[in-house]
Amino acid sequence: MVEPSPVAWTFGSPPLPETVELAAVLRRLTSVALSLESSSAEVGQLIEQLRAAERTLAAAAPASAVPRVGDRIDSDGRVYLDHSRDIGTYNPAFPVYEITVEGDRAHGRVEFPVVYEGPPGLVHGGFLAVFFDSVIQHHNCDVGVAGKTTEIQVRFRRPTPLLVPLRFDIDRTVVGDRITSLARLRHRDQICAEASMAAIAGDRDALPSVSPRRDAP
């Protein structure tokens, strides 16, 4: 059995503070734009501003979009951001949540905005799979025994609503180098979805090298 580490698992660099703020703004802005009833001149102006910002920022970004990890640590690629936990804080494509880890159990809260809609007023099932993978690996990383996901199965028990507080809980077991987690997502007292996930516990010493963020020239 792999023994838990007192040190939380991390792999990569933390995001810049402005990247975290940008992700939250983009998530809220996209939800508002999806709710508009008609064309807006403000949206057109915003598109032009964003295109201009994209050109400026692209000129300052690394030449390659391939991350500087392993044998590419000295390349002209980009910095790799830590994906062990809280990915949604810096990437608006991922949901944000609150989690409390208590050993092999964890629990928390999540609320899905309009950007994650599938059927009317409901969360798209694919985002639920992303959510479960994110919170379960967050749990593993905080405990200090984490590794690659080998399998995840999601069962949709009933529709998951948007824009309301939801609760989740996770139980995990470790046998040898195999981690098994069971998670449930609830609206009030009803289970909306549940997931089982298997992972292979990794070896910290075997992780590839990761380049830190480089100072601007």
> What is the value of pTM for the model shown?
0.92
- Cα–Cα nearest to 19, from 86, 80, 90, 74: 90
Q: What is the pLDDT of residues 23-52, one digit of tens each?
A: 999 999 999 999 999 999 999 999 999 999
Distance CA 40, CA 29 (A): 13
**Does the pLDDT value for residue 217 go beyond 70?**
no
Q: Are 162 and 102 in contact (CB under 8 A)?
A: no
Q: What is the pLDDT of residues 133-152, one digit of tens each?
A: 999 999 999 999 888 899 99
Q: Taking the domains of the chain in order of start, what are their residue ranges?
A: 17-206
**Phi, psi (5° rounding) for residue 9?**
-80, 130
**Does the pLDDT value for residue 19 go beyond 90?**
yes
Superfamily of the domain at 17-206: Hotdog Thioesterase (3.10.129.10)
**Does the pLDDT value for residue 184 go beyond 90?**
yes
pLDDT band at 163 (very low <50, low <70, confident <90, very high): very high
- Side by side, the strands of the sheet bearing 166-175 are 97-102, 105-110, 166-175, 178-187, 190-201, 147-156
Output the CA–CA distances (angstroms, integers) from residue 13 to 51, 137, 139, 210, in the order listed. 27, 17, 19, 8
Q: Are 195 and 143 in contact (CB under 8 A)?
A: no
Cα–Cα–Cα angle for 152, 85, 201, nearest 5°? 55
Q: Which has more pLDDT, 161 or 5? A: 161
Q: Are 97 and 185 in contact (CB under 8 A)?
A: no
Q: What is the pLDDT of residues 75-106, one digit of tens each?
A: 999 999 999 999 999 999 999 999 999 999 99
What pLDDT sits at residue 34? 96
Q: How many helices (H) and strands (E) does the chain have?
A: 3, 6
Q: Are 141 and 189 in contact (CB under 8 A)?
A: no
- Cβ neighbors of 132 (< 8 A, separation 6 or more) are 152, 154, 183, 185, 193, 195, 197
